[in-house]
C-alpha cells in the first residue's frame, strides 16, 4: 500500500512547497467571508484542502482502471473493478448469484476473474455496515488515516513556519497584527480619513489609541464588516509615515510619530557606541566574569535558557543620565515584545503603585522612561535596580534595593580644568549599590561637556585609560583600580562595553594586573 503523502511529516516540513493551487485556494477562502485570518486558521484550512485534493486524485486514478469496489454497489458481468482491500488489484466480474445468510438481508455474490490469475468472490448489493462501504476509507482500507485536525496538531509547528515564509514572499497577501488578508480585497482608506485619524491622535497627546477608537470617527463604509475595516485602516496607517504602531504583541496601538519622545526616535549620544574590533582572546577568566556581571547591552551575552520574571542590575552612568534601562538579552526578556522597533508600555513603582509610560526601543537595545523616577529618588550610577514583570500585560515594575537614605563615603566625579577627576566624599545615598561601580555626579552639565569634547576630538580609548586609571588609583590606599571601577569611570566620557575596554587595558604598558581584576601603575 502506498502511504499518502499528506500523512507524513516530510510533506508539511522539509518537502513543503507553496503551489499556485494553494495560493488560489486561500484567495478563494477569503472571498467567501472577507475576514482576516491567522496563520493557524490558514494552516488548518490548507491541510484540509490538500487532504481532500489528494483523495480526489487517488479516486480518479483508481477509477480510471475500473469501478472502485464497495460491498454496497451493484455490478454487471464484464464490468472491470478495482479492489482496494487487495492493494488495488484489478479484475473482471465473470458471474453473479444470490447470496444467502439468515443473519443479514438479501445480497448478491459476484465472481471476479483476477487480472493476475485466479478468481475470487465478493459480496455486492450488501447494505449492512461494512468498513469498505465508508467513502472516506475506501481508498485506504488497510491504513488508519489521520484526520486533517490531527495532522494539524502533529505538524503545525513545521507547517506554520514554512507557510508564513511563503505568504510573506507572495505579493497577493499582507500580514498585519497577527492576521493575513489578500491585498486586493482591502477597503480603500483615503487621505481625508487618515487626516481625521491624525487629528484624533493629536487631541490625545499623540496616543496611544487602539484602531477601534479611530474607526469610530474615520467613517469607513458600514457595509464593510468590522474586522475588514480594522485590517484595512491598520494597513493604511502602516503605510503613512505620520503614524507609528507601538502596541505590545497581541495588541495594536497607534501613536503620532512627531509626538514621540526624542529619546525614542533617535538614540541619545550617551548611548551610542562606535564599534571597534578587538581580540577577545586577550580577556582572562576574571575579565570574562566581570563582563558577565556587568551585563552591558552592547556585549550581547547570551541570555539564560529560562528567562527570569524578576532580576536586578547595576545602573551605569549613560543609562542614569538618559533615564533608560539597558536591554541586554536577559533584561530584554522582561519587557514587552511587538511587531515594530518601538513599543509603548507602562513602568510601575513597585512601592507606590504609581504608573507612567515607558518605551522599548529594541533596535538600539534600551527602554526609555526612568528619567523622572531616577531624579525623584536621587538614584546614583552604581545603584542596584530591581525589575519585575507585572501581573498585567505590558507593565514592568521597578524598585531600588535597600531603599533607605544614609550618608556614605562614595566616589564623586569632579570636572576640573577640562579633565575628569575623582574624590571620595560623603553623599546621601538612598539605596544599596556596588562599591566598585558607584559614581556620583554633582555637575552633569560639565561632565556632558567633557563627553562632547572627547567625542569631537575622537580621543582614543587607550588615552582615556591612561588618564583615568591613575586618577582613580589616588582614591585607594593600595593604589589599585578594579576593572569594574575603570569601566564605570570611562563610560562617563565615552560609551564603551567591557570587552573592548578590557582588551585595550591589556595592550598598554603603563599598568599591570595584580590579580582579582585589580590593576596598578608599573
For 372-392, what is each residue's pLDDT tens digit? 999 999 999 999 999 999 988
- pLDDT number for residue 104: 82
The distance from CA 461 to its chain's CA centroid, rounded to whole angstroms, is: 36
CA distances from 315 to 55, 213, 377, 378, 387 (A): 63, 39, 14, 13, 12
Res 301: pLDDT: 86
DSSP 3-state assignment of 201? helix
The CATH classification number of 71-133 equals: 2.30.30
Confidence label for 87 from pLDDT (cuts 50, 70 and 90): low
Residue 64 pLDDT greater than 90, yes or no: no
* Torsion 40-42-45-50 (CA) sign: negative
Domain extents in the chain: 5-62+145-176, 71-133, 188-260, 295-400, 407-521
Angle, vertex CA 321, rays to CA 262 and CA 377, nearest 5:
110
Confidence band (pLDDT; 50, 70, 90) for 139? low
DSSP code per residue over 157-175: HHHHHHHHHHHHH-TTEEE
pLDDT tens-digit readout, 11-60: 898 889 999 999 999 999 999 889 999 999 999 999 999 988 888 877 77
Residues 6+ apart with CB under 8 A from 477: none
Q: Which residue has the cell 561601580?
A: 437
- Residue 103 clears pLDDT 90, i.e. is over it: no
| DSSP code at position 150 | H
CA distance 413 to 449: 13
Question: How confident is the model at residue 178, as a pLDDT?
Answer: 85
∠ CA 336-349-437, rounded to 5°: 85
- Residue of higher predicted confidence among 337 and 360: 360
What would the mean pLDDT of 110-121 be, rounded to a whole number? 90
Question: How far, in Å, CA of 344 to CA of 306, rounded?
Answer: 25
- Note whether 71-133 and 188-260 share their fold: no
Which pLDDT score is estimated for 343? 94
pLDDT at 144: 65
**Helix axes 498-507 and 483-493, enclosed angle (nearest 10):** 110
Confidence class for position 142, pLDDT limits 50, 70, 90: very low
pLDDT at 223 > cutoff 70 = yes
Domain boundaries 188-260, corresponding CATH code: 1.10.10
- Quick check: 143 pLDDT over 70? no
Average pLDDT over residues 75-102: 85
Q: What is the mean pLDDT of residues 123-135?
A: 80
Mean pLDDT of the chain: 90
Q: What is the 3-state secondary structure (H, E, C) of 416-469?
A: ECCEEEEEEEEEEECCCECCCCCEEECCHHHHHHHHHHHHHHCCCHHHHHHHHH
CATH of domain 295-400: 2.40.330.10
Q: Would the pLDDT of 431 be above 70?
A: yes
Residues paired with 357 in a beta bridge:
346
- Stronger pLDDT, 139 or 442, i.e. the higher one: 442
The residue that leads in pLDDT, 7 or 49, is: 49
Per the CB < 8 A criterion, the answer to whether 233 and 211 are in contact is yes
Mean pLDDT score, 450-474: 94
What is the percent of the chain with per-residue pLDDT over 70, rounded to a whole number? 96
Rounded distance between C-alpha atoms, residue 194 and residue 137, angstroms: 55
Q: What is the pLDDT of residue 127?
A: 82
pLDDT tens by residue, 263-275: 999 999 999 999 8
Amino acid at each position: 500500500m502506498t502511504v499518502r503523502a499528506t500523512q507524513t511529516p516530510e510533506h508539511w516540513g522539509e518537502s513543503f512547497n507553496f503551489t499556485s493551487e494553494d495560493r488560489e485556494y486561500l484567495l478563494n477562502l477569503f472571498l467567501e467571508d472577507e475576514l482576516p485570518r491567522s496563520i493557524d486558521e490558514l494552516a488548518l484550512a490548507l491541510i484540509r484542502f490538500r487532504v481532500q485534493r489528494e483523495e480526489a486524485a487517488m479516486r480518479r486514478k483508481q477509477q480510471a482502471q475500473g469501478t472502485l469496489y464497495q460491498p454496497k454497489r451493484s455490478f454487471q458481468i464484464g464490468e472491470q473493478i478495482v479492489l482496494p482491500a487487495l492493494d488495488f488489484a484489478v479484475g473482471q466480474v465473470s458471474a453473479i448469484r444470490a447470496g444467502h445468510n439468515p443473519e443479514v438481508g438479501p445480497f448478491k455474490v459476484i465472481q471476479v476473474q483476477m487480472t493476475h490469475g485466479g478468481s475470487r468472490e465478493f459480496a455486492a448489493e450488501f447494505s449492512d455496515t461494512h468498513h469498505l462501504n465508508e467513502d472516506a476509507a475506501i481508498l485506504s482500507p488497510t491504513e488508519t488515516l489521520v484526520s486533517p485536525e490531527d495532522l494539524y496538531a502533529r505538524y503545525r509547528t513545521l507547517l506554520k513556519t514554512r507557510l508564513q515564509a511563503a505568504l510573506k514572499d507572495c505579493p497577493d497577501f499582507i500580514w498585519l497584527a497577527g492576521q493575513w488578508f489578500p491585498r486586493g480585497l482591502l477597503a480603500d482608506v483615503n487621505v481625508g480619513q487618515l487626516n481625521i485619524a491624525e487629528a484624533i491622535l493629536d487631541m490625545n497627546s499623540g496616543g496611544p489609541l487602539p484602531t477601534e477608537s479611530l474607526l469610530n470617527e474615520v467613517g469607513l463604509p458600514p457595509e464593510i464588516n468590522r474586522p475588514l475595516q480594522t485590517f484595512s485602516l491598520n494597513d493604511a496607517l502602516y503605510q503613512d509615515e505620520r503614524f507609528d504602531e507601538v502596541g505590545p504583541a497581541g495588541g495594536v496601538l497607534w501613536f503620532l510619530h512627531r509626538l514621540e519622545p526624542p529619546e525614542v526616535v533617535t538614540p541619545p549620544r550617551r548611548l551610542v557606541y562606535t564599534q571597534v574590533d578587538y581580540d577577545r582572546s586577550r580577556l582572562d577568566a576574571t575579565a570574562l566574569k566581570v563582563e558577565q556581571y556587568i551585563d552591558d547591552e552592547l556585549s550581547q551575552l547570551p541570555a539564560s535558557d529560562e528567562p527570569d520574571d524578576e532580576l536586578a542590575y547595576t545602573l551605569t552612568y549613560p543609562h542614569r543620565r538618559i533615564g533608560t534601562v539597558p536591554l541586554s538579552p536577559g533584561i530584554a526578556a522582561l519587557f514587552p515584545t511587538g511587531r515594530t522597533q518601538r513599543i509603548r508600555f507602562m513602568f510601575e513603582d513597585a512601592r507606590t503603585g504609581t504608573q507612567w509610560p515607558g518605551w522599548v526601543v529594541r533596535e538600539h537595545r534600551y527602554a526609555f522612561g526612568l528619567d523622572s523616577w531616577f531624579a525623584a529618588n536621587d538614584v546614583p550610577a552604581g545603584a542596584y535596580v530591581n525589575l519585575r514583570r507585572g501581573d498585567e500585560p505590558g507593565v514592568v515594575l521597578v524598585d531600588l534595593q535597600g531603599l533607605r537614605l544614609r550618608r556614605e563615603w562614595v566616589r564623586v566625579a569632579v570636572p576640573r580644568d577640562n579633565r575628569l577627576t575623582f574624590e571620595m566624599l560623603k553623599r546621601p545615598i538612598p539605596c544599596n549599590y556596588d562599591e566598585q561601580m558607584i559614581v556620583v555626579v554633582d555637575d552633569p552639565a560639565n561632565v556632558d561637556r567633557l563627553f562632547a569634547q572627547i567625542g569631537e576630538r575622537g580621543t582614543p580609548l587607550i588615552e582615556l585609560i591612561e588618564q583615568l586609571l591613575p586618577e582613580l588609583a589616588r582614591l585607594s590606599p593600595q593604589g589599585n583600580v578594579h576593572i569594574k571601577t575603570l569601566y564605570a569611570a570611562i563610560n562617563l566620557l565615552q560609551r564603551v562595553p567591557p570587552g573592548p575596554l578590557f582588551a585595550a587595558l591589556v595592550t598598554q604598558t603603563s599598568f599591570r594586573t595584580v590579580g582579582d581584576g585589580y590593576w596598578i601603575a608599573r
